[in-house]
């Protein structure tokens, strides 16, 4: 009796049904895999982006031509003092020479802080404090001791919704010192 079923129409119909079901499962699994990777890609590109270093303003920390992965932030609210940040400056005439409109700099101060530099040493007066605190900057680079001593600015009070940033290669940097 078993041999009679092997060649029967019922057996052939059952076999074709199983084969179609197997093919359908394969395509559903492939669709789910595609959707998973597409979702990961959308998440990745909306959260992170790539940037290439163009210039020497961060020399000795980041080199010209290096490629970095950056994390997008909601208005910089995640950034902390000392972080390396990417800032859009396309609206500022002082930075018209920046081809991409973006700068890669170091975050020095946030709103409410006051910043000054005396003989190449940056000082910060935190919001609500009367005294300036010397900023430890092992990443800061100057061409010479003379250049360091002539690198003075400020005091500059960082306004509401603003940040203050400097390049690590201080003598070769378009940064917050040039703000209108």
Residues serving a catalytic function are 57, 105
Rg for the chain, CA atoms, rounded = 29
From residue 165, give the alpha-carbon distance in Å to each of 2, 76, 86, 131. 83, 12, 10, 21
* Residues in the chain, overall count: 180
Q: How far apart are CA 87 and CA 102, in angstroms?
A: 5
Query: Could you tell me which of 154, 176, 151, 170 has the C-alpha nearest to residue 56?
Result: 170
* Cα–Cα distance measured from residue 69 to residue 6, given in angstroms and rounded to the nearest whole number: 61
The token pair at 5 is 């079923």
Q: Which of 125, 123, 150, 153 is nearest to 136 (CA)?
A: 123
Q: Is 164 exposed, middle or buried (0-12, 13-18, 19+ CB in 10 A)?
A: buried
């Amino acid at each position: 009796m078993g041999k009679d079923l092997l060649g029967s129409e019922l057996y052939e119909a059952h076999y074709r049904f199983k084969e179609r079901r197997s093919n359908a499962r394969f395509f559903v699994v492939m669709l789910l895999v595609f959707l998973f990777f597409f979702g990961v890609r959308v998440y990745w590109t909306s959260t992170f982006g790539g940037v290439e270093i163009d210039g020497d303003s961060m020399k000795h920390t980041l080199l010209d031509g290096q490629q970095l992965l950056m994390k997008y932030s909601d208005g910089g609210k995640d950034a902390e003092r000392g972080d390396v940040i990417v800032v859009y400056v396309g609206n500022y005439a002082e930075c018209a020479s920046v081809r991409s409109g973006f700068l890669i700099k170091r975050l020095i101060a946030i709103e409410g802080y006051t910043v000054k530099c005396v003989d190449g040493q940056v000082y910060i007066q935190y919001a609500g404090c009367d005294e300036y605190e010397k900023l430890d900057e092992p990443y800061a680079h100057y061409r010479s001791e003379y250049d360091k001593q002539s690198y003075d600015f400020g005091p500059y009070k960082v306004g509401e919704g603003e940040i203050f940033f400097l390049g690590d290669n201080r003598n070769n940097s378009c940064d917050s010192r040039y703000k209108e």
